Chains A and B, each alone.
Chain A
Amino acid sequence: MKGKPFTHLEKLGKSGRASLLPNQVKITVGFASCGVAAGAQAVLNAFSSGIKKRKMDVQIQKAGCNGMCHQEPLVEVWIPGKVRLTYGKVNKEIVQTILAAIKLDAIPEGALFKTPLGITTDTCCEDVPDNTSHTFYSKQQRVALRNCGVIDPENIGEYIALEGYQGLALALTEKTPAQVIKEVEKAGLRGRGGGGFPTGLKWKACRKARGKQKYIICNADEGDPGAYMDRSILEGDPHAVIEGMMIAGYAVGASQGVIYVRDEYPLAIQRLEIALENARKNKILGSKVLETDFSFDIRISRGAGAFVCGEETALIRSVEGECGEPRQRPPYPAVEGLYGCPTIINNVETLANIPALVKSGAKLFSAVGTETSKGTKVFSLVGKVNNVGLVEVPMGISLREIIFDIGGGIPGGKAFKAVQTGGPSGGCIPESLIDLPVDYDKLAQTGSIMGSGGLIVMDEKTCMVDVALYFLRFLEDESCGKCTPCRVGVRRMREILEDICEGRGTLNDLDILEKLAGTIKESALCGLGRTAPNPVLSTLKYFKNEYLAHIKDKKCPAGVCRELVKYSIDKKLCIGCGACLKACPVDAVSGEKKKAHKINLKKCIKCGACSEICPAGAVLT
């Protein structure tokens, strides 16, 4: 590659390479929000003091998350010239073992996998699997998450060392804006935030639109409960998003960008601020980007906690400082958006795909995926599944492969019941359909949607009526109130579901629910309202027997709905450990040590503290 931008980047990349793979041992602690929640700070402290005490010449660094959340706190050890190893569930004892081995110039034992970075030479540890052959990763293909957990997100050099800003440089030197758009169109990239709209088409419309100023907005208002890939990308690889925005800016003719981030993500905001500052300092962001005539700058706009602001017209209102109420479309934001100017709104994951797409070309990008859904998709695999975490898989993989091969199945020998996709706009997919290949259209056929990629796995102990009620409560609370179908309709549906869960439901309620759902779907103003009935409709479609059990038998088969369950202790399973007795806040449990315990139903408030703590699974509902 020739031209000023590339020589500029080459200089910056040199220092990055040196810090990515230094000539001394480097220990990297996974420091995304989830890692911190699992105790990453204590691990970091243990390494710092251990290194000092042993007088070792070892570098310590923080990184993002590699997606293996079930193994947090995660630590990587780089043995110079040899190998980069990852260790899971690291505690203070493991820290000492790792340091002791390094001190003796040995390879610390117990690594989960090794990561060949292309620029490393793996000459040892043949018994440790490569990251690509580890069961958690073997079916994954990491494009949007390519750098998460690999680089120091606060070091722009490390991003550049791994081909960072090369896509931008390539676009600026060798492609016209129209060619960039053509490439994105040809690649078949569709919006990863939920809508699935073709990104190239959006860009084309904005390029055509007239306006003195144009804007690129990154939608980082990741509101779907159960989805956290955007947080992880912003915390682990903020420059990928910045580069994606800049390429978008070049393509549509915009010079200003805004990242609208949820207020709940303070660490993401902090890392973004650092990344933006570093990019400006290194003449990548600002006027005369990479010594070309292209200028672009980005500011951060903090959200204030409103789910509806994920909807693009509401988001624009919020960036403008107003109440986030959606408006009718058209006009679409690509024509009339922020401050009335043509505006592109792309989701974090979509933008993180752009640099890789431009760098490697449409052909390579679209070689992965299905007919209508190209590339990879990140899913947050959570709920009742063994290997929880962020997984990035080629479109077209089956839900079964994700849940059972990558996710390792359901914990505690329980039976799989459903997987919820698409957040509050999505639905619950039953076991009979989990062999479907995952893409935008196949998921829509089931009555759910791809959404932003939350996959919440549910087992036999999850009540599907309660899940439907949960989403309706969420949506009722988050409805902006502007249109009646959503404001009143969703509330009415919630009231009916509450009746069913509390034992007052009638068969007629199910008809009313379906009718209401139809009306809301057709008449609500924005996506939040129009998709609000989905969780109810999909559970009614696939789990009608659970609704009937609540209505006819006044029973909750999963043992969740409080008004319909009674707590008891299985005499045969109870080991008499007394844990429940201590946990009960109302002294409803009695029993002698090592003998079966009993619950006094007159006192029991059905709080579930006993079943949560029971090590033998003896508390029944």
Chain B
Amino acid sequence: MKLPRKNKINQIVGKYKEDQGTLISLLQDIQSEFGYLPKEVLSHVSGTLDVPLSKIFAVASFYHSFSLEPQGKNTVSVCTGTACHVKNSGNLAESVSRNLGLEKDEETSTDGEFTLKKVRCLGCCSMAPVVKVNEDIHGGMTQVKTGKLLQQYRKDNK
């Protein structure tokens, strides 16, 4: 299998060896480069560092912030913290799912534009319910407002 961005991967692995970083920080670097953890990259890392692939997979699947699937261009994170929950963030997440035409348990829209994530408390409880699109946090959201927000991103992407 051809490895994408091989130089970059070797650079990340080299940094890991030099600073004696941890497996978590290594995976974080790979994810920020690729947007997710591609299987072929993990196999390559396993071989280069002589760390069993099973161990890499254990860490990658233990922590929520790692993703083993390709992500959409935009990530929509609906906060499910307690303050957001009592302000109906469950319904809000469902409305985003409907809006993006996602099947049950599906996270990424078929056009690859959006990935929906129900996330743990974003720590902006005073603005509940909160929706984060990529790095931008939006507070006091309703289903209607969120629909408009997604529309804005669709437009901007074109």
Chain A residues at the B interface, C-beta cutoff of 8 Å: 33-34, 36-38, 69-70, 72, 222-228, 231, 262-266, 301-307, 318-324, 380, 382-384, 388-390, 420, 423, 454, 456, 458, 462, 467, 470-471, 474, 480, 582-583, 585, 607-609, 612-613
Hey, which chain B residues are within 8 Å of A302, CB to CB?
24-25, 28
A337 vs chain B, min Cβ distance (A) = 16
B29 vs chain A, min Cβ distance (A) = 10
Query: Is the CB of B109 closer than 8 A to any CB of chain A?
Result: no
Hey, which chain A residues are within 8 Å of B142, CB to CB?
609, 612-613
Whether A223 contacts B143 in the complex (CB less than 8 A), given A458-B86, A462-B86, comes out as no
Interface positions of B from 113 to 158, Cβ below 8 Å from A: 119-128, 130, 135, 137-139, 142-144
List the count of A-B residue pairs having beta carbons below 8 Å apart: 162
Hey, which chain A residues are within 8 Å of B82, CB to CB?
225-226, 382-383, 420, 423, 454, 456, 467, 470-471
Question: What mask results when residues 57 to 82 of chain B are scored 1 for a CB within 8 Å of chain A, else 0?
Answer: 01100111110000000000000111
Hey, which chain B residues are within 8 Å of A307, CB to CB?
120
A304 B24 Cβ-Cβ under 8 A: yes
B92 vs chain A, min Cβ distance (A) = 9
Whether A612 contacts B59 in the complex (CB less than 8 A), given A222-B123, A305-B65, A382-B125, comes out as no
B126 A322 Cβ-Cβ under 8 A: no
A–B Cβ pairs within 8 angstroms, 22 of them: A34-B139, A37-B124, A37-B130, A37-B139, A223-B121, A226-B83, A263-B28, A264-B119, A264-B122, A265-B123, A301-B25, A302-B25, A303-B63, A304-B65, A304-B66, A320-B22, A321-B59, A324-B63, A383-B82, A383-B125, A423-B82, A609-B91
Of A72, A470, A582, A609, the contact of B95 (CB 8 Å cutoff)? A609
The CA of A420 and the CA of B139, in the complex, are separated in Å by 22
Of B91, B120, B122, the contact of A608 (CB 8 Å cutoff)? B91
B95 A225 Cβ-Cβ under 8 A: no
Whether A319 contacts B143 in the complex (CB less than 8 A), given A226-B81, A231-B123, A383-B83, comes out as no
The CA of A172 and the CA of B22, in the complex, are separated in Å by 33
Interface centre among A34, A70, A263 (most CB of B within 10 A): A34
The CA of A202 and the CA of B153, in the complex, are separated in Å by 50
Hey, which chain B residues are within 8 Å of A454, CB to CB?
82, 125
The CA of A346 and the CA of B21, in the complex, are separated in Å by 23
A266 B125 Cβ-Cβ under 8 A: no
The CA of A423 and the CA of B119, in the complex, are separated in Å by 16
B120 A305 Cβ-Cβ under 8 A: yes
Query: Is the CB of B85 closer than 8 A to any CB of chain A?
Result: yes
Whether A33 contacts B62 in the complex (CB less than 8 A), given A225-B81, A456-B86, comes out as no
Chain B residues at the A interface, C-beta cutoff of 8 Å: 21-25, 27-28, 58-59, 62-66, 80-83, 85-88, 91, 94-95, 98, 119-128, 130, 135, 137-139, 142-144
Whether A33 contacts B23 in the complex (CB less than 8 A), given A228-B121, A467-B86, comes out as no
The CA of A69 and the CA of B81, in the complex, are separated in Å by 17
Hey, which chain B residues are within 8 Å of A321, CB to CB?
21-25, 59
The CA of A301 and the CA of B120, in the complex, are separated in Å by 19
The CA of A262 and the CA of B87, in the complex, are separated in Å by 24
Hey, which chain B residues are within 8 Å of A228, CB to CB?
121, 123-126
A323 B62 Cβ-Cβ under 8 A: yes
The CA of A303 and the CA of B59, in the complex, are separated in Å by 12
A198 vs chain B, min Cβ distance (A) = 27
Hey, which chain B residues are within 8 Å of A33, CB to CB?
122-124, 137
The CA of A414 and the CA of B12, in the complex, are separated in Å by 55
The CA of A205 and the CA of B123, in the complex, are separated in Å by 33
The CA of A306 and the CA of B120, in the complex, are separated in Å by 9
A388 vs chain B, min Cβ distance (A) = 4
B36 vs chain A, min Cβ distance (A) = 14
